[in-house]
Structure 1
Amino acid sequence: MAESQSALLLQRQLKELSKSPVPGFSAGLVGDNIYEWDVMILGPEGTLYEGGFFKARLSFPTSYPQMPPQMRFISQMWHPNVYEDGRVCISILHEPGEDRWGYESAAERWLPVHTVETIVLSVISMLSGPNDESPANAKAAKEWREDPSAFKKRVQRTVRQSEEDMYQ
């Protein structure tokens, strides 16, 4: 029962996104699996990621929207809030409830009102302003803080690579 409800909700969100596209990203199913979505994020204007085309995957649990999806960049990504394996680490993708480490409030974490649109817009916001206080990628956060020009060069290489990957 829960699986069919989550599938219907995801189908409705996909239909809404195709009817009213949101600037900055596009999304579609992986094959015909409603629980696996490919997302293309355009690097936000005015950021180090501007001009990039970043592929990511959203994997939804059958308990969605009670539990959050996982998001992972398939494209190379150098960012303090993205693990080296591409997994995205932002508050709204963390399981609902209180944070056992006391870093995030329950209101910052996953809530069933979030949609694919709010998730991806949060990721775009993350690209615009990294949170280096609780990084997923400590090396990227250290470079962001201590050697901004090296960080910028590495991100520029990542953007160039994403552009090349688009045309392969």
Structure 2
Amino acid sequence: MVANFAAKRLGKELQKINSSLPPGITLVSADNFEEWLLDIRVLDKNPLYEGQIYRLKFRFGSSYPIEPPEVTFVKKDDRPIPMHPHIYSNGIICLDLLGSQGWSPVQNVESVCMSIQSMLTGNSKNERPPGDEEFVRGNRQRPKDIDFYYHDNTV
């Protein structure tokens, strides 16, 4: 269940989203403050994603926006999960912005979608992350609980 401050913040975000969204981002559903679906497409000419539309599922916890939402790609009808070195075949996205270390409460649904659009735009490798099959088969954690190792982490 979403707390009052999370619901208030999501209500403001929904008002803004309903009035305008950047090109390539479409709100599909936001029936409650727990789960929203948005479609995104890459606007720039990237042959890996040209003509494709991808569906994102946002799940909000009671501590949003202090904690990040859980964001995954979902396969739905003709919406595939994009091939990308940081997107697992089950839709889990390895993006520091979505983790507790990279998240900031100034981020919002729109900025997350734009970051993912940018991530796709800049991709030139038609591949999954290393160990995709093993990760998908063995992972029992929710995306927000996975402790990804980012290349810019220091020891």
Fold match, TM over 0.5? yes
Distance 1:18 1:51 in 2: 24
Query: What is the TM-score with the length of structure 2 in the denominator?
Result: 0.72
Query: What is the TM-score with the length of structure 1 in the denominator?
Result: 0.66
Alignment of 1:1-168 (within 5 A): 3-30=3-30, 32-47=31-46, 48-75=48-75, 76=80, 77-96=82-101, 109-130=102-123, 137-138=129-130
Q: Which has the larger radius of gyration?
A: 1
Distance 1:18 1:124 in 2: 19
SS at match of 1:73: strand
Identity, in percent, stands at 31
Deviations 1:68-98 (A, max 9, x none): 01111113221111112101111110113xx
CA displacement at 1:139 relative to structure 2: 6.2
SS at match of 1:34: coil
SS at match of 1:6: helix
* Change over 3 Å in CA distance of 1:54–1:4 after alignment to 2: same
How many pairs does the alignment contain? 124
Distance 2:29 2:66 in 1: 20
The alignment yields a C-alpha RMSD, in angstroms, of 2.3
* Change over 3 Å in CA distance of 1:139–1:52 after alignment to 2: farther
| Aligned partners of 2:83 and 2:128 also within 8 Å | no
Distance 2:128 2:93 in 1: 8
Q: Which runs of 4+ in 1 moved over 3 A?
A: none
| Structure 2, unpaired ranges of 5+ | 133-155
Distance 2:124 2:32 in 1: 32
SS at match of 2:34: strand
| Structure 1, unpaired ranges of 5+ | 97-108, 141-168
